[in-house]
Chains A and B, each alone.
Chain A
Amino acid sequence: MHKESAIREPLILGHKTYHDITEDVCRSIEGKAPKAWYVLFGIALLLGLYGVGCILYLLGTGIGTWGLNKTVQWAWDITNFVWWVGIGHAGTLISAVLLLFRQKWRMAINRAAEAMTIFAVFMAGLFPLIHMGRLWVGYWVMPIPNQFGSLWVNFNSPLLWDVFAITTYLSVGFVFWYIGLIPDFATIRDRAKNPVSKKMYSILSFGWSGRAKHWNRFEIVSLVLAGLATPLVFSVHSIVSFDFATSVIPGWHTTIFPPYFVAGAVFSGFAMVQTIMLIVRKGLKLEAYLHVKHIEYMNIVIMVTGSIVGVAYLTELFMSWYSGVEYESYAFINRATGPYWWAYASMMTCNVVSPQLMWFKKLRRSLLFTFFISIVVNIGMWFERFVIIVTSLHQDYLPSSWSMFHPTWTDIGIYIGTIGLFFVFYLAFARYFPILPIAELKTILKSSGESYKNDTAPVRPKTAPVVNTFVPTDEPIEEVVETIESTLDHVEEKATELSDDEKQHKISSLIEKLGVGNADQKDDLKVISGVGPKLEETLNGIGIFTFEQVSKMTKEEYDLLDSITGTFPGRAERDDWAEQAKNLMNK
């Protein structure tokens, strides 16, 4: 098994067991959604519907409902497109590149990031579609056999490469994401009680049975897809940048674009992951899986890519001066000092200055600050695309055609609408899909889980007295850990005396689930029908003292208990101890 240095911060905090992971992730799917979810979903849906309305108006009336003109023929449409594609970059990078580099920390975020990628690419793909003057013949960009004679697409056009790049990216990204979901869907399926959802998840899980062969194939496919997806991480935004780089417009015709766009995309993608994950973490109480360490790692990525982007900006400026091409020089002087100086200033501040703050450890480990910067970065990246597209076009070669772009409410409405739609998708995802990769997380639990790392994993002492030394407390988990550590030696001693490791392990996991009982305040378990004095003694021996503990028992615990005691098989379940205990507790 993979071993990790003890100095390294753990990736999963607290005494998580495999079951805990399943529980934590499935809680949001199986339980009721909180009010906040409905509120957020409602807002997102309203915004999304408004956007759809604007799109319908656009399609019904014409592109003229946007603020474009003879000089600036692309503005918010392509800005939004590139912005969303950029956001859609983090997912594949996290799941593919980080997978190949064996970055385990990615597991906390990859599922969510991939989902974000898929939805962002949906939103991105919307813009090239609706920006077409004649959407209804948009399928002509596909090289499909047709009855128009020898008509074929123009393979010279970067826009066509875009079509291929985006569709490939979307399909590979989607498959990759879905393959990862299959075992988790199976888990949910197995746990589902509602027949409808059971059916749904069983369809979604493609008949996953968890056999070794399935796992084997799963691993292989994941690796192959990771290999396939890795070049896509670089190709998509490179190709998007070709839209500009291969043109003749000063400010667009720049060879630095491909790497600079990729870096920018990763930059904005990670920022978006931060924004979303900080909300999700709070909302779904995933603090144990996604903690400061993860945030810090992502902030470092943001800092590095932000610096790359900053260097690219400066290189562009230098080249515009060094080349001596007057159009080029003017294009960049105009960016900085022309009528759109405020867009350029926003871009520079948000993208160059703000990530540099991440050099401070305090700042990059601050959740609030991270949340703030993640939003700032995406504002900055939107302005970057706006600056590239609009300020290059609005004053290009012939001064006679120089013009300004003013957005209309349709421009704005569609942009806001895509944000709304994105969150509609995302909130639905967070509600019905496992937002963390259950199966994958379990693979690192033993190596990176906090309690396993320092060997304080919920290894429960065999006898009650030892357990009794733990004082039930409301103290934060760190202190509990300390307490645990202080009694470590003692526990070890006891543990060595145990003859049956397996039994001990089962006991500890049972106690983990039912909670540590207090021998001093023990309830009269005999009151429970089916529990006699002997059984009570046995239960106390295991560490079960209170009704509260018993009330938490489910089928799994009953089975566990049966396997520990070796007696009374099925009895506890038959008598429904948990229900009885619950009633007794309330008396």
Chain B
Amino acid sequence: MGTNRKYWKGLDELNETPEFVASTKNEFAQELSVDQFLAEDKLSESSTGRRDFLKFLGFSVAAATVAACEAPVVKAVPYVVKPEDITPGVANWYASSYYDGETYASILVKTREGRPIHIKGNKNNGFTKGGTNPRIVGSVLSLYDGERLQEPQNNGATSDWATIDAAIIKQLKATVAAGKKVALLSNTVISPSTLEIIREFKANIGGGISDSVNQEGAIEDLSMVSTDNGNIEHIQYDAISYNGMREANLESFGKAVIPDYDFSKAKTIVSVGADFMNSWVLPTQFLGDYVKMRNPEADEMSRHFQFESNMSMTGSNADYRSMIKPSEQGKVLALLLKEVGGASVAGLSTEGLASEVIENIKAAGIALKASKGKSIVVAGSNRKSIQVIVNAINSALNNYEGTINLNTPIELHKSEDAKMAQLVKDMQAGKIGALISWDTNPVYSYGDTEGFKAGIAKVGLSVSMAKYADETASLFQYICPDSHALETWNDFNPKLGHYSLAQPTIRPLHNTRPAAESLMIWAGLASHVGKNSTNYHDYIQGTWQKWGFTMQTEYLDFYSYWSAMVHNSCGTDMFATPTAVPFAGNLAAAGKAESAITTGEWEIAFYQKAGIASGIHANNPWLQELPDPISKVTWDNYVTMSPEDMKAQGFAMELGQVEEQNVVSVKVGDRSIDLPVYPQPGQAAKTIGIAFGYGRGEGGEAIGKSAYQQEGIYGQASKTMIGANAFKLAVGGVTEAFEASIADTGNKYILACTQTHATVMARNSIMKETTFDIYKKEESAAYNHRHTLHTGWNHDEKLTEEFDLWEEHPVEVVGHRWAMTIDLNLCVGCGSCVVACGSENNVPVVGKDEVKRGREMHWLRIDRYYASEIEATVGTRNPEEFEAEGFGGLQNPGSNPKVAYMPMLCHHCNHAPCETVCPVAATTHSNEGLNQMTYNRCIGTRYCANNCPYKVRRFNWFNYPSYRKFTEVNPAQDDLGRMVLNPDVVVRTRGVMEKCSFCVQKIQTGKLVAKKAERPVVDGDVSTACSDVCPSNAITFGDWNDNESLIRKSTEEKRAYQALEEIGIKPNIWYKVKVRNEENEELAAIQTAHGSHGGDEHGEEDHATLDTGSHVDETETNNGH
């Protein structure tokens, strides 16, 4: 149907005026020009005057400005060209190796958008098998330390590499030409490539270097030269010396080595003062091996005897622990040697040992004899005489054919005490023309600091390759800053037959250079390139091509070999098997040396803390704030003394926010340090323990803001030292001091302790422990008593978990239910999980002042409980003794208490007390069983934290990221340090509650991985930071609803229990009963009686709890259903 309708836009168009027709031909209608507009007469008639116009303009500008103030400008620069391997939001993991001069481990480094943010142990490769410690996990933060040197320094002034290199080379040549000595002082170098470079450096330093030398060619040509210039010496010096041990092995077996110890085969372990789980030799390997023999499900469990002065982490996990003085180590070992049927140590009387100690030595002797070839005896002392006797014992027990491997020595800890002493002498005598120092800090750690300082002044050329202008480096003329380990390539040979690689995970942040590369340049092997330098990488590759590649048969071409090595961080282990070597040690000499010890009133056993060790990590706030596993003290070292001794001395023993400790002056010879006294149960009488690693930066050196104490309530960090330097008392690499005196200075000092109550008050539903015997013989009711309630008219007995006050969350049937088990038998209390949790979840560091006030923010903590005198073991009270002494008897730990560790984190209760009380529903339950915290919704009433029976909720008392008190103490809260933050986890603001989330971000990632692979989530997809990092695999995490999962099976084990089960909160965390391999008749009497009758005295008390306590309420509740 046609239409004649016509549409028109105006009368012009309708009438088709000529003007209109003309205008239609012009496609673009002419705009009104500005001139025309201005020329218009009526403009001046406008009511808006000029002044008004300006007012409007001004207002608009002001309004726009004010509006712009609302939100800070956040710069997010997108990639112009996206790097191949980086997907924003997806983490990349790189296999690498960690070595800081003391500890070695194979690690995995997590990077996000090119930034390394997290480190954990590598469970798949390397002999450490995931073994790690808090220092390793925490080391990622030091990468972002703002006080790390960023430019080469010349006499404290910033310089550039070219100038410095030229000057150094010139002076080195001149020194050599003048016939003066050049000393290269480093800590133990285990890098084969670096050792090769040092060899070439020694050989070539006298030769010329031309800038035009081709790099590749240089290696080829110059490596041919092998004439060692005798005037150039490489001295390895470690803060913690194992020189005595190497010398003892040289004497005993003809090899100056530290043998490899295989704790995974040891049925009996005797340690005399060796803290092998924490600091002794290679704990990253030993701990993982040790716990393999601690599985109560197996037929056998190792038995561990410890004889020590301090309560060490290792000692606290022992089955039998005896307290001895450091001077008694020889006696103990001599007696033990006699017990196992070895020769007697001539000239060393074994008189004077306490009867309990002798009893344990005899028991240890019997156990050792019963497990010949499958036992280990170790001693922590650096005294040669002690180590010789230990060697004799191990030899008598045939351990060198089984558990101790002299053929696969550990290459760490090669400190040469004699050479170091000689160097200091030479320096003072002016014999040293040039001193190159690298990664070592003798001014701090060498006992004779003054001597060393005096020596430096007489050295012609002093070059340091330190990362910080620390105590030593700040005295040097040139500092050529070494790059951080995460910025460079490296290779390591920690153990004979094991070679590993470290790969950079970030381009150098600053203008730094790997120390090995500096040496290459000075030796003329390369020239300075800058941040993109591949010098050292190429050199390592060359070395590996020459050695590693040729030694293996697996890969046919080098590049596939190299790729595999980089991917795994290490090659296949080529370890030699242990063979018996006849013992040739001089026991008589050892006995003579030991009996010659003269003792003073007090003896000191020095030790290393889990977080700080020898002090190289003193500037790491995560580690400073990590509570010591035993004492739970943060940010300080102190004198540990037995409470009995303290009582006798009249020292204050209360710990707390306002309770002050006495500061004493500890004197050895003519040197003394002042430290507060901490009451340490289990400390041998008349002995004290002092940790190394504190008192860094005495001269106010720029070694990182966290290396200093932050003071005042809301003030600024001041450069007050943290603790005191124990190395001052340990001259010559000793591990103990026999003649010490203590004097009260009259000063007072408050220690910041995260746990001030020592015992678990025999609360059996929190801490459960049994012995291996009972565990094997008795029903689970004996050691893992379940709480029941009576219900209905017939008073039927039902488990508490069958009662509900509220409708249950439907987590047990639908979807996932995330759950965790923690094996208390495997947890040794090291604290790796605490640091890993902080790193993964951006947990703020709050500093000593706040920790002192009980406000540390750790989402995960490790509770340490001592047994009191009236407890048969931790958590089980002796009913008769309790009757007599009451709760008062439970308050104080025994004099040599049993110790138990209990990691404590949010239990994600399915009937969470915190969830019901939040007025705004900021904490709620997810349908996967997670107790979720919605930070945005939180108004901070803190009711949830009060109502949490586990006390795991943490409140943001201040705005930590922007409040000066906290930014001054934590580099992770300044601009550079913020790079370590995990972008998946929000940084919480002031006034909100936070707590463990079961690493919900990792759960989501795991679920996504499974979803993309189109399969259900299985074991291994999902883990938490703590379960990932645990070196003893004590933590299992997974989906409880998956019947096949490890976690499900783990929770169904006989040992599994839920802490505070009787409150009815249905937590998603299970603990597993701790099993000690000991004879404990007291405990056996209680537990067997309990298990078989269930109605004797102890049982009655427990039942009373249920029958009368909650029975009435709960029964009614139940009837109401």
Residues of chain A touching chain B, judged by Cβ–Cβ distance below 8 Å, are: 61-64, 67-74, 128, 131-134, 137-138, 140-141, 151-154, 156-160, 163, 243, 246-249, 322-330, 333-334, 393, 395-404, 406
Q: Mark B1037-1077, 1 if CB is under 8 A from A, else 0.
A: 00000000000000000000000100101000000000000
The answer on a CB contact under 8 Å between A64 and B904 is: no
**What is the interface residue range for chain B against chain A?**
35 or more
Footprint of A on B, CB under 8 Å? Answer: 656-658, 714, 755-757, 759-761, 763, 766, 850, 853-856, 861, 863-865, 886-887, 902, 904, 913, 916-921, 937-943, 945-947, 949-951, 953-959, 963, 989-993, 1060, 1063, 1065, 1101, 1104-1105, 1107-1110
> What are 13 A-B pairs with beta-carbon distances under 8 A?
A62-B991, A69-B854, A133-B955, A134-B938, A134-B989, A140-B939, A157-B916, A157-B917, A248-B913, A397-B763, A398-B863, A398-B951, A400-B757
B904 close to A400 (CB less than 8 A):
yes
Q: How far does the Cβ of B800 sit from chain A's closest Cβ, in whole Å?
A: 13
Q: Are B864 and A400 in contact (CB under 8 A)?
A: yes
Task: Name the one of B918, B919, B937, B1060 contacting A397, with C-beta atoms under 8 angstroms.
Answer: B1060
| A398 adjacent to B904 (CB under 8 Å) | yes
- Pick the contact of B919: A133, A159, A333 (CB < 8 A): A159
Q: A137-B939, A325-B1105 are in contact. Are A74 and B919 (CB under 8 A)?
A: no
Q: Is the CB of B863 within 8 A of A160?
A: no
Q: State whether A326 touches B1105 (Cβ < 8 A).
A: yes
Cβ–Cβ contact A406 & B951, under 8 A = no
B residues less than 8 Å from A329 (CB atoms) = 887
From the candidates B850, B856, B863, B956, name the one contacting A400 in the complex (CB within 8 A): B863
A157 CB, min distance to chain B CBs, angstroms: 4
Docked Cα-Cα span, A400 to B763, in Å, equals 12
A70 near B919: Cβ-Cβ < 8 Å: no
A325 with B1110: CB separation less than 8 A: yes
Alpha-carbon gap, A324 to B854, bound state (A) = 31
CB contacts (< 8 Å) of A158 on chain B: these are 917
Interface contacts beyond A62-B958, A401-B755, A403-B756: sample of 15 additional A-B pairs, CB < 8 Å, sorted by A: A63-B957, A69-B853, A70-B953, A131-B942, A138-B939, A140-B920, A157-B919, A159-B941, A248-B947, A322-B1108, A327-B763, A330-B761, A330-B887, A397-B951, A404-B756
Q: Say whether A324 contacts B1104, CB under 8 Å.
A: yes
Closest chain-A Cβ to B845's Cβ sits at a distance in Å of: 15
Main secondary structure of the interface of B (DSSP, over half): loop
Q: Are A151 and B921 in contact (CB under 8 A)?
A: yes
> Which residues of chain A have C-beta atoms less than 8 A from B756's C-beta?
402-404
A397-B766, A398-B904 known; A70+B955 contact, CB < 8 A: yes
**Alpha-carbon gap, A324 to B946, bound state (A):** 23
Partner of A134, one of B763, B766, B853, B991: B991
Interface pair B1109/A324, CB less than 8 Å apart = yes
Chain B residues within 8 Å of A64, by CB: 850, 855, 957-958
Of the candidates A61, A72, A74, which one forms a contact with B714 in the assembled complex, judged by CB atoms under 8 Å apart? A61
Whether A157 and B940, one on each chain, are in contact in the complex, defined by CB atoms closer than 8 angstroms, is no
Q: Is the CB of B991 within 8 A of A404?
A: no
The answer to whether B957 touches A134, judged by C-beta atoms less than 8 angstroms apart, is: no
Nearest chain B residue, comparing its CB with the CB of A392? B946
Task: Evaluate contact between A73 and B945: CB separation under 8 angstroms.
Answer: yes
CB proximity of A66 to chain B, nearest CB, Å? 8
A156 to B755, CA, bound (A): 33
Could you tell me the distance between the alpha carbons of A62 and B955 in the complex, rounded to whole angstroms? 11
Residues of B contacting A324 in the complex (Cβ-Cβ under 8 angstroms): 1101, 1104-1105, 1107-1109
| Residues on the A chain within 8 Å of B949, using CB | 248-249, 396-398
**A398 CB to closest chain B CB, in angstroms?**
6
In the bound complex, CA of A137 to CA of B934 (Å): 14
Complex Cα–Cα for A160 and B921 (A): 10
Query: Known: A141-B920, A402-B757. Is A73-B942 also a contact (CB below 8 A)?
Result: yes
The answer to whether B951 touches A71 (Cβ under 8 A) is yes
Say yes or no: A323-B955 contact (C-beta < 8 A), given A133-B992, A134-B991: no
Least CB distance, A166 to chain B, in whole angstroms:
12
A-B interface, 4 closest residue pairs, ranked by CB to CB distance from nearest: A133-B940, A133-B991, A64-B957, A69-B854
Task: Determine whether the beta carbon of B943 is less than 8 Å from that of A159.
Answer: yes
Residue of B nearest to A73 (CB): B942
- Among A140, A141, A322, A334, chain B packs the most CB atoms within 10 A around the CB of A140
A74 to chain B, nearest CB (A): 6
A156 to B806: give the CA distance in the assembly, Å.
11
Question: Measured between alpha carbons, how far is A249 from B945 in the docked complex, in Å?
Answer: 11
Known: A70-B954, A153-B921. A63 touches B991 (CB 8 A): yes
- Contact across chains for A393 and B992 when beta carbons are under 8 A apart: no
- Asked if A152 and B757 make an inter-chain contact with CB atoms under 8 angstroms apart, the answer reads no
Contacts of B989 in A (CB 8 A): 134
In Å, the complex CA distance between A163 and B917 comes to: 13
**Cβ–Cβ < 8 Å partners of B937 in chain A:** 140, 151
Distance to closest chain B CB from A381 (angstroms): 21
> Judging by beta carbons under 8 Å apart, are B1109 and A325 in contact?
yes
Q: Which residue of B lies closest to A334 (CB)?
A: B887
Find out whether the CB atom of A399 lies under 8 angstroms from the CB atom of B939: no
The 8 Å CB contact of A328, one of B939, B950, B1109, is B1109
A87 to B561, CA, bound (A): 81
Q: Judge whether A333 and B887 touch: CB under 8 Å.
A: yes
Indicate which residue in A61, A132, A247 contacts B941 across the interface (CB closer than 8 Å): A132
A385 and B874 CA atoms in complex are apart in Å by: 34
Q: For residue B946, which residues in chain A have a CB less than 8 angstroms away from its CB? A: 73-74, 247, 249, 393
Closest to B863 in A: A400
Cα-based distance from A154 to B879 in the complex (angstroms): 44
CB distance from B806 to the nearest CB of A (A): 8
User: Which residues on A sit within 8 Å (CB–CB) of B853?
Assistant: 67, 69
Interface contact A159-B917, CB-CB below 8 Å: yes
Are A62 and B941 neighbours in the complex by a CB distance under 8 Å?
A: no
Please name all residues of chain A whose beta carbon is closer than 8 Å to the beta carbon of B904 when the two chains form the complex. 398, 400
A159 to B918, CA, bound (A): 7
Nearest CB on B from A151, distance (A):
7
- With a cutoff of 8 Å between Cβ atoms, the chain B residues found around residue A404 in the complex are 656-658, 756
Which B residues are in CB contact (< 8 Å) with A157?
Answer: 916-919, 943
Closest chain B residue to A134 by CB distance? Answer: B991
**A69 proximity list for chain B (CB < 8 A):** 657, 853-855
Q: Is the pair A141, B919 in contact by a Cβ cutoff of 8 Å?
A: yes
CA gap between A153 and B941 in the complex, in Å: 14
Chain B neighbourhood of A323, CB < 8 A:
1105, 1108-1109
Alpha-carbon gap, A149 to B549, bound state (A): 63
Output the least CB separation between A389 and chain B (Å): 9
Q: Which chain B positions have C-beta within 8 A of A395?
A: 757
CB distance from A124 to the nearest CB of B (A): 15
Whether A163 contacts B919 by the Cβ 8 Å rule is: yes
Residues of A within 8 A of B921 (CB): 151-154
Contact of A156 among B657, B757, B886, B916 (CB under 8 A): B916
* A327 / chain B contacts, CB cutoff of 8 Å: 763
Minimum CB–CB distance from B702 to chain A (whole Å) comes to 29
CB closest residue in chain B, given A322? B1108
Shortest Cβ gap from B387 to chain A (Å): 38
Within the complex, the shortest CB–CB distance from A169 to chain B, in Å, comes to: 17
Inter-chain contacts of B760 with A (CB < 8 A) = 399-400
Report Cα–Cα, A206/B958, bound state, in Å: 48
Given A134-B939, A399-B760: A70 touches B945 (CB 8 Å cut-off): yes
Known: A133-B991, A323-B1109. A399 touches B761 (CB 8 A): yes
CB distance from A108 to the nearest CB of B (A): 40
Distance of A154 Cα from B1109 Cα, bound (Å): 29
Q: How far apart sit A137 and B991, CA to CA, in the bound complex (Å)?
A: 11
- Please, which residue of chain B has its CB at the minimum distance from the CB of A157? B919
Residues of chain A within 8 A of B850, CB atoms compared: 64
**Nearest A residue to B990, CB-CB:** A62
A74 to B958, CA, bound (A): 16
Chain B residues whose CB sits within 8 angstroms of the CB of A132 once the complex forms: 939-941, 991
Q: Are B920 and A154 in contact (CB under 8 A)?
A: yes
**Which B residues touch A247, using CB under 8 A?**
913, 917, 946-947
The interface centre, meaning the residue of A152, A153, A324, A329 with most chain B CB atoms within 10 A of its CB, is A324
Determine how close the nearest CB of chain B comes to the CB of A492; give it in whole angstroms.
69
